[in-house]
Structure 1
Amino acid sequence: MNPATHMKYITVFCGSSEGGINSYMQQAYATGKAIAARGYGLVYGGAHVGLMGAVADGALDGGTEAIGIIPTFLNKKELAHPRLTETHVVSTMHERKTMMFERCDAIIALPGGFGTMEELFEVLTWAQLNLHQKPIGLLNINGYYDALITFIDQMAENKFLKPEYKHMLLVDSDIEKLLGKMEHYVPQVNDKWFETAK
């Protein structure tokens, strides 16, 4: 069964900052709206600030569910979004990531910092290890991820990553096109991740 054909909830990883140009916030909001327009629910980190707040606003304004998962120490700083369908307060960042993963059928990463990178690469690693087959998308707004995509190519060129594993990360600069790729994603059969890259 292709898990992408049964997508109901999409987890979005993204920054709690607004970024250096307005288009990051605009595209985060558009991402939330696009998720809603296709009938999906949003799962995300629960904050009202930065790109996180914008994607939640877009989803809510589009009429869909927005489920926030926020750790206690951030909730105490009054960073939780006040309009969410559900808010889950958890004890640790690890619990937050686990719940965000378990509650979704697909994942999209928008621009962000260390936290977004860590979340993205963890779910990619789990896919490589065949622990899940959920589509993973990267929204490359304004070329933000160009250098990362080049670095992933370098991983493969230096034989630290099998070339076919690059295709586990679906990339586009347009959210509608990215969602289309995710909806048609066919997971590769992968039970030999530990063999040397050729």
Structure 2
Amino acid sequence: MRPLAVCVFCASGPVPEPAIALAGEVGAAIAARGWSLVSGGGRVSMMGAVARAAREGGARTVGVIPEALVEREVADDQADELVVVADMRTRKGEMDARSDAMLALPGGLGTLEELFEAWTSGYLRMHDKPVVVLDPDGFYDPLFTWLESLVGTGFVSARGMAGVVRATTVDGALDALASPEVAHQQRAVVDQQ
């Protein structure tokens, strides 16, 4: 199997230290598999930690950042490639185009927005890339409990819920990103529409 370019969505603001450590563990694991990292191009918080750890492990890192955030001096200027774009919408499109799979770690509104767009785009057959949520501590449990409660109401379908894989360990998440079975399962969900 060819090396993957993994797009990681995660927090870029102040978060507890265990979340920073998780991001670092993910970056190191991506590097250990010989993969590359695509990120939001920030050098702070979890976003910075995942990129630094990936680089320290020898992975190529690509950061995609809106010009306004470069001006705030939060850009990951150590990235192997730093792509500066006009706005957040362009950023997401560029991150998507440069990646083979998407991994969401704990994060805030921006992370949720990125996760939902990747998840929805897969459901709508706009891509067939695996979408995985790494959640070792139950951060996303309330969200998924709510979404699962909507299955059968007409607002959320079971096929839609199957479009994302949840993992509780870094290795489990990365295995899911690389798994032909996961990609096939998610494509099957899309094809059943």
Please confirm whether the aligned pair reaches a TM-score higher than 0.5, indicating the same fold: yes
> How far, CA to CA, are the matches of 1:111 and 1:71 in structure 2?
21
> How far, CA to CA, are the matches of 2:54 and 2:146 in structure 1?
32
Residues 129 and 191, structure 1, Cα contact 8 Å, conserved in 2:
no
Counterpart of 2:168 in structure 1 is 173
1:188 counterpart = 2:187? yes
Equivalences for residues 34-113 of structure 1 within 5 A: 34-113=29-108
Counterpart of 2:12 in structure 1 is 16
User: In the TM superposition, what whole-angstrom CA distance separates every residue of 1:104-142 from its partner, at most 9, and x where no partner exists?
Assistant: 000001111111111110111111111111000101132
TM-score by length of 2: 0.92
Is the partner of 1:143 in helix, strand or coil? Answer: coil
> How far, CA to CA, are the matches of 2:44 and 2:26 in structure 1?
16
Residues 24 and 141, structure 1, Cα contact 8 Å, conserved in 2:
no
In the TM superposition, what is the alpha-carbon distance from 1:99 to its structure 2 partner?
0.2
Residues 29 and 54, structure 1, Cα contact 8 Å, conserved in 2:
yes
TM-score by length of 1: 0.90
User: In the TM superposition, what whole-angstrom CA distance separates every residue of 1:78-125 from its partner, at most 9, and x where no partner exists?
Assistant: 111131101011111111000000000000011111111111101111
Equivalences for residues 115-134 of structure 1 within 5 A: 115-134=110-129
Counterpart of 1:154 in structure 2 is 149
One-letter identity of the residue aligned with 2:158? P
In the TM superposition, what is the alpha-carbon distance from 1:18 to its structure 2 partner?
3.5
Higher RCO (C-alpha 8 Å, min separation 6) = 1
In the TM superposition, what is the alpha-carbon distance from 1:7 to its structure 2 partner?
5.1
Is the partner of 2:160 in helix, strand or coil? Answer: helix
One-letter identity of the residue aligned with 2:12? S
In the TM superposition, what is the alpha-carbon distance from 1:143 to its structure 2 partner?
1.1
| Equivalenced residues, count | 188
> How far, CA to CA, are the matches of 1:10 and 1:183 in structure 2?
10
- Indicate the larger mover: 183-192 or 173-182: 183-192
Residues 36 and 59, structure 2, Cα contact 8 Å, conserved in 1:
yes
In the TM superposition, what is the alpha-carbon distance from 1:165 to its structure 2 partner?
2.5
RMSD of aligned residue pairs (Cα, Å): 1.4
In the TM superposition, what is the alpha-carbon distance from 1:192 to its structure 2 partner?
5.3
One-letter identity of the residue aligned with 1:138? V
What residue ranges of structure 2 are gaps of 5+ in the alignment? none
- Indicate the larger mover: 181-190 or 39-48: 181-190
